[in-house]
Amino acid sequence: MQKGKSLATFLQETTSPDLSRMLLSIAESTKALSHAVRNIGMLNLSGSTGETNVQGETVQKLDDFSNNIIMDLCKASGVCAGYLSEENEDMVTLSPEGRFIVSVDPLDGSANIDIAAPVGTIFSIIPRVTAPGPVTHADFLQQGDKVIAAGYAIYGSSTILVFSTGEGLHMFSLNSDDNHYYKTHTHVSIPSNGKIYSLNQGNLSKFETVSQQFIEWCIAHDKPTSRPYSLRYIGAMVADMHRTFIKGGVFLYPAAIGEKKGKLRLLYECIPMAYLTEQAGGRAINGSQRILEIMPTELHERCAIIIGCRDMVGKYMEFAGAEVNA
Ligand code: AHG
Ligand code: MN
Ligand code: MN
């Protein structure tokens, strides 16, 4: 088999030693999670822990396991000052002298575990802004345009690590023979001719009017623009976004009528995916604002999201009448 460059070599050539160390630690944790996902039946990791997380959602055993692995490896890196996870109510100080703040969705799409459908891990890395010592809210509550690296791993029919350090979007595949990541695609751009829209359409009547109008446009017949578009929805943001990066189109989790915020979490779902999307030439908005310009006010804040190729998000903006700087 013809292998691309290894992740370690690529990072050594393209990033600082500290950031490379941070990313390699996260990558290492995704290898352990990939193994756990693929061997869930043998490891007694299916089902729930019987607890609910800070969001009031049922914690799967694999959610908990994933969080512990990632947090341990972030700590072992020695460069991660603070850690925030969907599964922890509060932020955690890991290395008081570290330079980086990491926010993580350890296992995205956990409802897919029981049906052997794709799941993943999403992360973003921002610089610490306070002096060494315990981390504070100010370290985590930074606008998305402060992100210095972000990415996700998808545990699908293969395991792929996708990330950016601000110079394009790169994809590395996990080789099951030697358990190393190797480069498969660099400088990925979202195709502009995608014909797919992706949302939980069962909720359409609950979503605000602009989203309903946009979906009506997606399914209207129009030969020149190849409409109606196809609907695809996996129910794991990681998997729906991975398809969007490869095949184009748009993914939405809009706000419900009368609400401003959607379901997905700003710090460890929307911001990292928005950063990656912009790196791949696409756009990400909450309906009226570029996601990367939102100033977070809470660790587990939720956010509406419309994300994908420039033209489709642009079309949504036309319906919204929004002058968004995106
Ligand atoms: P998580 O498993 O980390 O809680 O995330 C689930 C999220 C996201 O991955 C997906 O896009 C969305 O929930 C699906 O929500 P619906 O079931 O409401 O469609
Ligand atoms: Mn998630
Ligand atoms: Mn999750």
pLDDT tens by residue, the chain, 326 residues:
567 999 999 999 999 999 999 999 999 999 999 999 999 989 988 888 888 888 888 888 999 999 999 999 999 999 999 999 999 999 999 999 999 999 999 999 999 998 999 999 999 999 999 999 999 999 999 999 999 999 999 999 999 999 999 999 999 999 999 999 999 999 999 999 899 999 999 999 999 999 999 999 999 999 999 999 999 999 999 999 999 999 999 999 999 999 989 999 999 999 999 999 999 999 999 999 999 999 999 999 999 999 999 999 999 999 999 777 77
Sorted by sequence, the CB contacts under 8 Å of residue 274 that are 6+ apart come out as 144, 284, 290, 291, 292, 305, 307
Q: From the CB of 237, is ligand 1 less than 6 Å away? A: yes
Q: From the CB of 105, is ligand 1 less than 6 Å away? A: yes
Report the alpha-carbon distance of residue 40 to residue 50 in Å, rounded.
Answer: 18
Tell me which fold the domain 196-320 belongs to. D-Maltodextrin-Binding Protein; domain 2 (3.40.190)
CATH of domain 7-185: 3.30.540.10
- Per-domain residue ranges of the chain: 7-185, 196-320
Which residue's alpha carbon is nearest to atom 14 within ligand 1? 235
What the block records as the tokens of 80 is 């991660």
The environment of the single-atom ion ligand 3, i.e. residues with CB closer than 5 A, is: 86, 105, 107-108
CA distances from 28 to 66, 69, 220 (A): 12, 9, 45
Output the pTM of the full model.
0.97
Neighbours of 284 (CB within 10 A): 25
Length of the chain in residues, anyone? 326
Q: Say if CB 53 and CB 84 are below 8 A apart.
A: no
- Expressed in angstroms and rounded, the spacing between residue 8 Cα and the centre of ligand 1 is 31
Q: From the CB of 87, is ligand 1 less than 6 Å away? A: no
